[in-house]
Structure 1
Amino acid sequence: MKPSLRRPRSPIVIALLLSLTLVIGLFMGWLSGSVISKDKAFRSLTRKIFQEEVSGSMLTLHYSLAYPEKKHISRPSPTLGTISDDTSATYQKYEQYLRKLKDFTPSGLTRQNQITRDMLLLYYQTQLSARDYTLLDEPLSPSLGIQAQLPVLLAEYAFYDDQDIADYLNLLTSVKPYFQSILAYERRRSDAGYFMSNATLNRILEQCSTFIKDPQNNYMLDVFARKLKDYGRFSEKEQAKLNERHKEILLTSVIPAYQELMTGLNELKNTGTSSRGLSHFKGGKEYYRYLLQSQTGSYLSVEKIQQRLTSQLAEDMHTVQQMLKEQPSLLRKLTNGAEIKDFEPASALQYLNQHMQKDFPALDTTDYEIRYVHKSMEDFLSPAFYLTPPLDTGRPNVIYINRAGSRSNLELFTTLSHEGFPGHLYQTVFFGKTQPDDIRYLITSGGYVEGWATYVESYGYQYAASLLSDKAAADITTLMWKNRSINLCIYSLLDTGIHYQGWNQAAAAKFLNAFGIQDEKVIAEIYQYIVETPGNYLKYYLGYLNFLDLKTSQQKKLGDSFDLREFHRQVLEIGPVQFPVLAKYMQPAADSSS
């Protein structure tokens, strides 16, 4: 054993060390009893909110959790529930949530919990602002209404275990009472002077007719049989029996429910007014402001939003004019259509994942797959979409591609940047790796989610340039993005004009004429779509502009030290929140770096 060469400590040093140990012990005790316990209590509250909110609907629960029992959440009755204009119980619950959330002071919580608290406070405050305008909410519309979306939600209903199949079949039997509650609600809207126009009604009836026109060969029969076969746990005989039961329910419950809905809506024909925006209804402007806040996550006034849209429109149009002035041949190339040769969606996603890493933080290996929309569903679904996986599995990460319609390879490539990398799939997986509170999966911000996917489309166009065999490829793709930006901006401005300023179709036509849109049928279709889907374009485009403005702000503050990948990392780690919350939690990092 070697002798020690260290000198013995003096009594004073030992005393100081003992004092320091005591202080550290007291501090750790305070930390454990104060900060940690507050975080634990906060997480307990958000867990309770999540459990209450997610279990309120069988569809919500199923699309959120593959195995709810593992989180000690009981499955609710497998029904679609009912729709009512009496939402007093819901708003009382929101007020209760707010009171409990306000009991927690931000300083006593971790940064992640502070973000969750701020997001939830703003979310429930926004929801409460609509409590006086419940009859202005329209559950039916030709494209985004529940009668159009329900078959898709049911068709995509995943089978993780036998109970899911039983729940699915029970959900089908509840379509009729669910639609009956919608009819009762629409009658109350009619009595209050809020019923839809005949133009909208006819489009809904046409959509319903398309779904039920051939009951014996309805696409849901084919989709169910395919899912049952892929499930792989039943014999052919058992599958045949389940398929027969499914067909029986479809023919005796679902199809009649749509027929009854159509009959009831027809009885309300002529009780609505001509197609018009929300501002023409009592409380319409106030409700539109609520819609913008809840859908876009932006809390600017409508006037400020219009100013921001107008300035971006002027900037993009000036850029396009300058580019065409300097290179007149670009217009011909754009008109003829740029194309990517030897295109495959799988290789395009791989290419995007690789090339985005100079601008976006890399992910660990991400499992994903491409599926093609079943032929029987092609007419009902968008060109491509990402299906968010349940939060407890995080998979499968699936991008569906619809082969119907004619799109260029370049259009599909940029669509894949929106849905895949660095769009929805990438953003979802990246945020999931931060292990957020479960409530963050359930309550998000549509403006953040769709705004992010629109924002990264501009990068998708950049990445596409190297795949084009043209010396002016970068200018061509820039011009294409600017053209898309201009179109989205025009429709967003039109949305505010129709729903806030009360533009009729003639006023909308005058506005569109100024941008060279002259075709009366096209104008009528644009006008009608925006009347039926207030705020929808703004969710994408205003969301995009918020990311653009946030990036510009950070660049000004950080100057030469601004790092694009670091900016994107912060945005992604904060996750889907309203834009005031996002800006607030980007601020400390910017200040500490300046």
Structure 2
Amino acid sequence: MKPASLHRRILFPLLLCGGLLFALLFWYFSPFFSPGENRRFSAYVEERFHSEVTSSAITLHYTLADPASRGIAPGTASFGTVSIPDRTSYDALLQSVETTLTSFHRNRLSAENQITLDLLLYELNCEKMPGSTSLLAEPLGPSLGIQAQLPILLAEYPFRTQQDIADYLHLLQDLPRYFSDLIALEQEKSRQGVFQNDLAVDGIIRQCSAFLADADTPESHLLHTVFQNKLQASSLFSEAERNLCLQTHEKLLISCVFPAYRSLSDALSSLRGKGTQNAGGLSRQEGGLSYYAYLLRSRVGVDASPEELTRLLTQQLADQCAEMQIILDQNPSLSLSEQALVLPFSTPEEMLADLQNAVSEDFPVLSGIAYEVKTVDDSLKDFLSPAFYLTPPADVNSPNSIYLNPADEMTGIELYSTLAHEGFPGHLYQTVSFSRSDPLLIRHLYAPSGYVEGWATYVESYACRYAARNLDANTQALCRLWYLNRSVHLILCSLLDLGIHSQGWLLADASAFLAQFGITDASAAASLYQYILETPANYLKYCVGSLSFSQLLSEVQKQEGDSFSLIGFHEKLLRLGPLPFPLVEKYL
């Protein structure tokens, strides 16, 4: 998924606990007696995977198609819990986990287990950072908040068995309790002086209102329409059973789902005006810089400081602007505004087929990949991004579905590049490639966004070359210019993120920065400023992640010289799978 859009991530977040469950205490008190170090480690990660994947029914259902095959028995489906961990207790938990992890003899483990151990230690060290339990973490928000994700996650909830449908209905019943926990958290954030600003609150309230627009006619609500369509397409029930499910679903919408969204909207309305984040980013909040450092390390997956990242991105910006100027000097007639960059493809399927064939020039060949392009249902188009790849369960690796939102009406090079990001050689290709290496299931729960989104952004440069490879030189130059223009905008947004959250830039500072690059639309600047306030470090996942891959490419190319193989380089990256970049560099 592209930045500034709804969150593609399927795994439901364990809020404010950084992904480590208190159930892990079990491992501190339960020593293993397995004769082999690898078997001991495998048993640990398997039980840890069980503990974490069952933290919510959403996480479990989107990660495993057949939980029973992994020894996970059906339970009462819920959204999990929202909690504010006590730092002292949390540190004690982390210490117990560290004791267990450091008890393994690393040099006695297989190569795969060594990578997994290093990954878990990296995640542990992230959670030991002061900002990991910060109240500045915000589960709600107009763009990436839980209330925005839920309609998507519920609508796309696959029905493979009758138990799946029962779990889905239990989730609807659990929603008032879950939203009550979220409301309590927001009230505590208000008391602590870290509640979000009024623009963010107004955005969430508008979103809740849009979700409730059809509440008076529940039979036409988007969730009910999608539920009905899925039931009709399913052979799990008789006609009478389907009707009973529909009646139950409608009652739960009326008694649980709609009241939960109204309660959330009302509670946020009562807190409106009590936010303190109107005056700038995280650096202006107590503990904000620590929390931002935590985001850079845990979400973006880099060890660099904000100052180092600013220097790096500033140089990249200068390099790409210089390349754009060279292209324009050599082709003075080029103008992005005068040409639509129409490509010789009639459908998204044709574009994906072309991409799947073209990637063999630079990436390992993956045969036998089944996928489907789907159109977002009209009832969901206002809640979804222009395009997204729905990650399949890790135990079956299918179906592979790319969704396109008709509301966005993408065409030409923009659609081609987006399909590369979501499909080949982006998310779909990377996911299938890694899954075919049969990694430990816990690796699917620790996929740093910097690697995942960075990879999909990194490969867009290849896609633009593929799109123009059979066209005239003028169009090839225009495709490159289009890509560079797109990349420059992403860098500018990332530099804004760093300025706002690490240097305390106000709107006037952000506007002055954008004006240096000819962006003088006041409303656009204000909108972008607000988005970055709400989603710290989000742009960096895409931009810094992509740049990290490019840097690794340059370093390996320099080291290997004439023996360098681009396909071999990409094959190593894909085989390693999603990791923080210090570990990618270590094992590459």
Q: Give the TM-score taking structure 2 as reference length.
A: 0.91
- Determine if contact 1:309/1:489 at 8 Å carries over to the other structure: yes
The CA distance in 2 between the partners of 1:484 and 1:502, in whole Å, is 26
- Determine if contact 1:414/1:457 at 8 Å carries over to the other structure: yes
Query: Displacement, 1:392?
Result: 1.1
The CA distance in 2 between the partners of 1:159 and 1:399, in whole Å, is 18
Q: Is 1:319 paired with 2:341?
A: no
The amino acid that maps onto 2:289 is K
The amino acid that maps onto 2:265 is M
**Within 5 Å, which residues of 2 pair with 1:110-259?**
110-130=110-130, 133-215=133-215, 216=217, 217-259=220-262
Q: Is 1:299 paired with 2:303?
A: yes
The amino acid that maps onto 2:272 is K
Matching residue of 1:462: 465
Q: Structure 1's 131 and 481: CA in aligned 2 closer, same or farther, altered over 3 A?
A: closer
Q: Structure 1's 467 and 398: CA in aligned 2 closer, same or farther, altered over 3 A?
A: farther
The CA distance in 1 between the partners of 2:201 and 2:380, in whole Å, is 23
Matching residue of 2:60: 61
Matching residue of 1:404: 407
The CA distance in 2 between the partners of 1:342 and 1:149, in whole Å, is 32
Matching residue of 1:477: 479
The CA distance in 2 between the partners of 1:526 and 1:467, in whole Å, is 37
SS, match of residue 135 in structure 1: coil
The amino acid that maps onto 2:516 is A
Query: Displacement, 1:554?
Result: 0.3
Query: Displacement, 1:542?
Result: 0.3
**Within 5 Å, which residues of 2 pair with 1:1-40?**
37-40=36-39
The CA distance in 2 between the partners of 1:276 and 1:245, in whole Å, is 46
Q: Structure 1's 376 and 90: CA in aligned 2 closer, same or farther, altered over 3 A?
A: farther
Query: Displacement, 1:76?
Result: 4.0
- Determine if contact 1:334/1:476 at 8 Å carries over to the other structure: no
Query: Displacement, 1:347?
Result: 1.6
The amino acid that maps onto 1:39 is N
The amino acid that maps onto 1:537 is Y
Unpaired runs of at least 5, structure 1 = 1-33, 587-594
Identity among equivalent positions (%) equals 43
The CA distance in 2 between the partners of 1:99 and 1:349, in whole Å, is 48
Query: Displacement, 1:442?
Result: 1.2
SS, match of residue 251 in structure 1: helix
SS, match of residue 399 in structure 1: strand
- Determine if contact 1:343/1:409 at 8 Å carries over to the other structure: no
Q: Structure 1's 335 and 296: CA in aligned 2 closer, same or farther, altered over 3 A?
A: farther
Matching residue of 1:308: 312
Q: Is 1:330 paired with 2:297?
A: no
Q: Structure 1's 397 and 95: CA in aligned 2 closer, same or farther, altered over 3 A?
A: farther
Unpaired runs of at least 5, structure 2 = 1-32
The CA distance in 2 between the partners of 1:101 and 1:132, in whole Å, is 19
SS, match of residue 386 in structure 1: strand
Matching residue of 1:351: 354
CA-based RMSD: 1.7
Q: Structure 1's 95 and 343: CA in aligned 2 closer, same or farther, altered over 3 A?
A: farther
The CA distance in 2 between the partners of 1:225 and 1:307, in whole Å, is 53
Matching residue of 1:286: 290
**Within 5 Å, which residues of 2 pair with 1:339-418?**
339-418=342-421
The amino acid that maps onto 2:542 is Y
The amino acid that maps onto 1:108 is R
Q: Structure 1's 133 and 36: CA in aligned 2 closer, same or farther, altered over 3 A?
A: closer
Matching residue of 1:30: none
- Determine if contact 2:496/2:510 at 8 Å carries over to the other structure: yes
Q: Structure 1's 87 and 236: CA in aligned 2 closer, same or farther, altered over 3 A?
A: farther
Matching residue of 2:30: none
Give the alignment partner of residue 490 of structure 2, picking from 456, 467, 488: 488
The amino acid that maps onto 2:239 is E
The amino acid that maps onto 2:452 is V
Query: Displacement, 1:413?
Result: 0.9
Query: Displacement, 1:75?
Result: 3.5
- Determine if contact 2:132/2:294 at 8 Å carries over to the other structure: no
Q: Is 1:82 paired with 2:81?
A: yes
The CA distance in 2 between the partners of 1:423 and 1:87, in whole Å, is 39
The amino acid that maps onto 1:38 is E
Q: Which has the higher Rg, Structure 1 or Structure 2?
A: 1
- Determine if contact 2:511/2:525 at 8 Å carries over to the other structure: yes
Give the alignment partner of residue 551 of structure 2, picking from 549, 553, 578: 549
Give the alignment partner of residue 276 of structure 1, picking from 269, 276, 280: 280
Give the alignment partner of residue 576 of structure 1, picking from 575, 578, 584: 578
Query: Displacement, 1:98?
Result: 2.3
Query: Displacement, 1:148?
Result: 0.7
Larger helix percent: 1
The amino acid that maps onto 1:247 is E
Q: Structure 1's 35 and 361: CA in aligned 2 closer, same or farther, altered over 3 A?
A: farther
The CA distance in 2 between the partners of 1:528 and 1:315, in whole Å, is 28
Residues 303-322 of structure 1 show CA distances to partners (whole Å, capped at 9, x for unaligned) of 11111100100000000011
Matching residue of 1:589: none
SS, match of residue 385 in structure 1: strand
Q: Structure 1's 415 and 497: CA in aligned 2 closer, same or farther, altered over 3 A?
A: same
How many residues of Structure 1 are paired with residues of Structure 2 in the alignment? Answer: 551
